[in-house]
Amino acid sequence: CIAPEEPKHRSTIADRAEPELIKDPKVQVPASVVEEGVDARVTITYTVGADGSVSDVSIIESSGIAALDRAVVKTAEQMKYKPAVQDGVPRAVKKRRTYRIKA
């Protein structure tokens, strides 16, 4: 009697549908903005690559202060993630984030 072959089981529990943020630098608010005092929001979209890097940062809701918007983009580009994983393979995903800046 030949024993039936065991079904090949691969756990997908370890897969992450969403990337995990591991480096989240603080926005360096420009001195000119701090002097004026600000309570603003900047919403961005970006891509987290299969290597965990951030690229394609775009502002979708501006603070109305160009220097502050640039500071948020620069900060976002420095974020680092553990990439999203699907079927054991790292993959790129689009994300959206809103920064609230009070200075």
Amino acid identity at 34: V
Q: Is the dihedral of CA 93, 96, 102, 103 positive or negative?
A: positive
Task: Report pLDDT for 32.
Answer: 86
pLDDT < 70 positions in the chain: 1-14
List alpha helices for 1-103, DSSP H.
Answer: 31-36, 66-77
